[in-house]
Every structure is written in C-alpha cells, then in structure tokens.
A = this chain, B = another copy of it.
Amino acid sequence: MPDEEGHPAVEEILLGPVLSALADPLRRRVVRTLAAEPEGTARTCSSFGLPVSKATLTHHFRVLREAGLISQVSRGNSRMATLRRADLERRFPGLLDLVSAEPEPPQAAT
C-alpha cells in the first residue's frame, strides 16, 4: 500500500500511472531536471520555475508522487522532491533515459 503521503512501494509502481504522469510536458521537465542532478538531489517544487499557479504546481507534484516517480518530504515550510531513480530503473529500465534524452522545449511551447 502507498504510505500516508501517497508514495507507492516500489512493486506498486505501475506503468499506466507512470506513463500518464510523464504524458505532461511540465511533469517531464521536472523528471528530466531531477535526472540531470546528482543522485539524491532534493529540490523544492518552486525551484523548477514552472509557469503555473501554486495549486497547479501542487497537483503536478502529487501526480508525480502518486505515480512513484518522485518522493517528497517536508522540510520546514517546503516540500522537497527527489527522483526515485533506483526504484524506476528497477521497474522500468531505460525509461528515465528516454525522458532525459528528450530535448528541452522552448519555454513558450510548454
């Protein structure tokens, strides 16, 4: 079962929710950005500079978290997001590489 924060266990990470999460260009940008950082990097939601409202930002990170792509922990007033790199590589080997290889779109196109 997912924990109380909505993080699925590794064996609960399913292809359907992962692909649905990655179907959105802004969510792919978050994953691509985290994948380019050193292992274990934790970032606040606002640090990604997504051009959306706070409510939409919260929604996007919830989708990523519930699909199993990221984990989030509260730190002070912020929630820090970390890529579940090893879990994803175990469940869907190569998928993160495909997302990382996607060219960054022009800002206006996202």
Contact = CB atoms under 8 A, between A and B. Distances in A.
Interface of A: 15-16, 19-20, 22-23, 25, 28, 92-95, 97-99, 102
A19 B22 contact: yes
A93 B95 CA distance: 9
Contact of A15 (B15, B28, B92, B93): B28
Number of copies of this chain that the complex holds: 2
A21 B29 CA distance: 18
A14 to B, nearest CB: 8
A102 B94 CA distance: 14
Nearest to A98: B92
A109 to B, nearest CB: 10
Given A15-B98, A93-B98, 7 more contacts: A15-B28, A15-B102, A16-B23, A16-B25, A16-B102, A92-B98, A94-B94
